[in-house]
Amino acid sequence: MNSPIRKVAAGCLLLCLALLANVTYVQAFQAGDLNSREGNRRVLIDEYSRERGPILIGEPPVAIAESSPVEGELSYLRQYPEPELYAHITGYYSFFFGREGIERTQNDVLSGSADRWFFRRLIDMVTGEQPRGGGVKLTINPAAQEAAWEALGDNKGSVVAIEPSTGAILAMVSKPSFDPNPLASHDIPTQEEAWAALNEDEDNPMANRAAAEILPPGSVFKLVTSAAALENGFEPDSVVPGPAEYDLPQSERVIPNHNGRACGENNETTITNALRISCNTAFAYLGNELGLDVMLDQAEKFGFNSIPLANGDIRSAASNFPPDADAPQLAQSAIGQFEVRANPLQIAMVSAAIANRGQLMNPYLVDELRGPDLVRVLEVTEPEVVSQAVSAETARQLTEMMVEVVDNGTGTPAQMSGVQVAGKTGTAQSGREDDPPYAWFTSFAPADNPQVAVAVVIEEAPDTARDDIAGGRLAAPIARAVMEAVLGS
């Protein structure tokens, strides 16, 4: 063989080896990513050829997302029996627009493509049995979810309820909501029309306000400031300044109290009373007295500056406490303003940690993964401790202070017959001059044996005058309805 032929042969051999190496790499290492890529038509057709597993809630389990056989290339149609009530939890399953919510995060189980079912799929191929997806059972309490939905009414806002001892999410409601059924339609124009309408809506109904959007929390953040104070030498009856206005350091501006008056006699008050009446000036003082390092550390122990939700069950946004605030900014941060941002999920975590003797649990939404028969349980979510946010003694003191808020302070609309409630109100400025404030409330009950922690935010209340927008008036009754539903179920 002459030299040119040898070179050509060697080149062809190298090309063959490169091709084999690439095929091996794609099959062995990239197959999973390629199969899970949204828009992969071959994979989608395969998914639609088998029955997708249901998303379940309650006991006995009821489907809030299920598949039914239909005629056509796509053999099964995804349907949502109570669409708007659970839309931000289930998400949607669309041939054209992909997946969201639990439909996205648990797709391998719902579609039956999880690695755990590899041998099951081989058996189905041999026997000719039609493969099916598995079921995903959620932690949602149907009564609590419905109570939150009804109590929110026509207001724009959201609600989260958590079981303090485990972190299980009992309710997650966001309004306005949307109907995922048109997005699941097999008619592409129907999908496109629904998608366009949802994205053009100024109220952004597809946004999960309960977890994926963050807002100024206002006075509910005073729970974090109170916790930092009690963990660092202060007592509930410690006396602190509570003048009508707090002079911001290094500034000519002031922080006023909402009623323009001092919080106690001689411009002084106890921390318990400051929390009871939501005294801005006392907490602004405490923020600067404690210092940035202490405040930042306490906020992060409650979950600020990190993304919550175990296993990525739902897209959630990290709350924020500014790590480099100067003295005037720190005073504002201590009352939940400046750059402090949170969603109801985060605020519910704060209350849940206090209710759970100071131990913060990672919130989760998926309770069980079940096999295609929907009976065999494949996996159960184990509760996970995030941090010891405060000591058990501090948690006890905070509970007593929060009970005082509901019994004799700004949170009286959350009172429940025969059940002691611990809570905190909040009214936060949006930062936009013409926009109304946000009304917040967070609570847990029973105070002596907590079963549920709740956080509520009202962003817009169309039937409420601007001056009447406050956490106690608007948000507290919603939290009460959810707590009553959980305790009565």
Residues identified as active-site: 219
Q: In terms of Cα–Cα distance, which of 328, 319, 248 is closest to 292?
A: 328
Tokens of 449: 């044996």
Give the DSSP letter of residue 472: I
Q: Of 310, 299, 380, which is closest to residue 169 (Cα–Cα)?
A: 310
Residue with tokens 């001689």: 266
User: What is the rounded CA–CA span in Å between residue 443 and residue 382?
Assistant: 25
CB atoms within 10 A of CB 377: 13
Euclidean distance between CA atoms 486 and 482, whole angstroms:
6
Please list, in sequence order, all residues whose beta carbon lies within 8 angstroms of the beta carbon of residue 232, skipping any fewer than 6 positions away: 290, 294
CB-based contact 342:221 (threshold 8 Å): yes
Alpha helices in 201-307 (DSSP H): 222-230, 271-277, 280-290, 292-301
Q: Which amino acid is at 125?
A: M
Rounded CA-CA distance 73/15 in Å is: 39
- Whether residue 295 contacts residue 228, with contact meaning beta carbons closer than 8 Å, is answered with yes
Contact assessment for residue 250 and residue 332, using Cβ atoms and an 8 Å cutoff: no
Measuring CA to CA, which residue among 462, 426, 466, 418 is closest to residue 443?
A: 426
Ramachandran angles phi, psi of 64, nearest 5°:
-110, 0
H-type helices in 427-470, by residue range?
A: none
In whole angstroms, give the CA distance from residue 109 to residue 402. Answer: 42
Nearest to 164 by CA among 472, 478, 456, 442: 442
Mapping DSSP onto H, E and C, the string for 339-405 reads CCEECHHHHHHHHHHHHCCCEEECCECEEEEECCCCCCEEEECCCCEEEECCCHHHHHHHHHHHHHH
